[in-house]
Amino acid sequence: MFDFHSIMPIFLSLFAGLSTVIGAFIVFFSKSGSKKLITFALSFSAGVMITISFTDLFPTAEETLSKNFGKFDGVLLALLFLIIGTLIAFLIDHFIPSEESKQLIDKNNTNLYRVGFVTMIALMLHNFPEGIATYVSGYQSTTLGISIALAIALHNIPEGVSIAMPIYYSTRSKSKAFKYTFLSGIAEPVGAILAFLFLKPYINDFILSIVFGIVAGIMLYISFEELIPESRVYGFNLLYIFSLILGICIIPISHIFL
């Protein structure tokens, strides 16, 4: 039960989740450089997620489903699960309130603390299924798990900023900002541990193909709806396009060595 193949994905999700805390340290110790780092992390992560979706997740789902149901039905089912993943991400965005914390800071909003708290809850709900996806992917393939964990870790950094910034500026307490950021990030390995305890016996090629199709849809939605638009907000257009292309290229390059 406690073999490397089963435990390694938990550590990958722990790495991805706790990278959220890096965002808190950026708020504490960085001024001008943080915007460039956020631009790079968001854009690079988008490139990685888009590439993983189209070169690993969706093709794997399509291939497995086609073997079980035939080529035509397999492709349609893979697309269906991708669309379901996109809808899941859309519904999370639609029903969980979120606001641009930097705009609220500029307006000296008195509800800044509440915004930071709500952001933490929203990202906890977002990170929990990411932990499950990281575990399932890493259980199927360590290489794929590492790629997904890296992409999630990079976009968790600015998520940490979005929590720590309103909490820190409203309370001037580094400990509170760190605690709330940590709570958001730890939801990721919690999801992975629950997947290890309860889902592992049911993981097979068919279940993996469903999960991969759904995760691909979620990643594509996050990339095009959140990461890419947000990475362009700060005006570092050359850094944005360079980071995006680097993220797209890094996954095929990693296939050579992993």
Backbone angles phi, psi at 242, to 5 degrees: -65, -45
pLDDT band of residue 110 (cuts 50, 70, 90) is: very low
Band of pLDDT at residue 99, cut at 50, 70 and 90:
very low
- What is the percentage of the chain residues whose pLDDT exceeds 90? 28
Residue 148 CB: number of other CB atoms within 10 A? Answer: 29
- Concatenating the DSSP letter of every residue in 100-134 gives -HHHHHHTT-TTHHHHHHHHHHHHHHHHHHHHHHH
Contacts of 253 (CB under 8 A, 6+ apart): none
Instruction: Give a three-class secondary structure readout of 186-199.
Output: HHHHHHHHHHHHHH
Distance CA 201, CA 207 (A): 11
Compute how many other C-beta atoms are within 10 angstroms of the C-beta atom of residue 242.
16
Higher-scoring residue by pLDDT: 117, 1: 117
Residue 157: per-residue pLDDT: 83
Q: What pLDDT, on a 0 to 100 scale, did the predictor assign at position 76? A: 96
Q: Which residue has the higher pLDDT, 199 or 60?
A: 60
pLDDT of residue 112 exceeding 70:
no
pLDDT at 86 over 90: yes
Q: Are 61 and 214 in contact (CB under 8 A)?
A: no
The dihedral over CA atoms of 220, 221, 223, 229, expressed in degrees to the nearest 10, equals 150
Sort residue 172 into left (φ over 0), alpha (ψ -120 to 50) or beta: left
Residues 58-62, mean pLDDT to the nearest whole number: 92
Residues 42 and 36: their CA atoms lie apart, in Å, by 10
Following CA atoms 12, 15, 18, 22 in sequence, which dihedral angle do they give, to the nearest 10 degrees? Answer: -150
pLDDT given for residue 104 in this prediction: 41
| Amino acid symbol at 117 | F
What is the model's pLDDT at position 155?
75
Residue 115 pLDDT: 65
For the ranges 16-30, 75-89, 105-119, 156-170, which has the lowest average pLDDT?
105-119
220 touches 82 (CB < 8 A): yes
Q: What is the pLDDT of residue 105?
A: 42
Q: Where are the domains of the chain?
A: 4-257
pLDDT in the model for residue 74: 95
pLDDT average, residue stretch 108-123: 65
Residues 6+ apart with CB under 8 A from 197: none
N-terminal to C-terminal alpha carbon distance within the chain: 25
User: What pTM was estimated for this model as a whole?
Assistant: 0.69
Highest mean pLDDT among 29-38, 45-54, 168-177, 232-241: 232-241
